[in-house]
Amino acid sequence: MSIISIILIALLGVLHLGIMGLEMFASPDTQAKSFDMAPDFVHKPEAQTALKNQGIYNGMLGVLLLLSLFVLSGSGQIITARLLSAFVLVVGIYGGCTATRKILLIQALPGLLALVSLFF
């Protein structure tokens, strides 16, 4: 795996840990602003539960991306990084089409860049 791929995968992992932090630990007002949601919606207990649930998925994705750099090697590392990057790309495209367009830049584009780098 190239140094560029390693850097992009690491950044993608850190990005998802940051998203987890926003979803699980940020104030509702920060969440509303970050995710383009109505503040009155984000303050609802049900919305908080949903955000925290989504946060754990993003957190685990971030951990898996980072662990793939340290625990795996060779073709297993590359295959795992490709699968996780493709997952980020697909989920980012879906989120960009259904939630807010900025997800395309914040999540899908980094996933695409990491994925493309893994083929060179």
Across the range 3-19, mean pLDDT stands at: 98
Cβ atoms within 10 Å of 113's Cβ, excluding its own: 17
Band of pLDDT at residue 28, cut at 50, 70 and 90:
very high
Band of pLDDT at residue 24, cut at 50, 70 and 90:
very high
Across the range 13-20, mean pLDDT stands at: 98
Q: Which residues contact 3 (CB under 8 A, 6 or more apart)?
A: none
* pLDDT tens-place string over residues 37-76: 999 999 999 999 999 999 999 999 999 999 999 999 999 9
Structural domain for 105, as ranges: 3-117
In the chain, the number of structural domains is 1
The H or E element spanning position 19 is: helix 3-25
Q: So what's the pLDDT on residue 58? A: 97
Note the pTM of the prediction, 2 decimals.
0.94
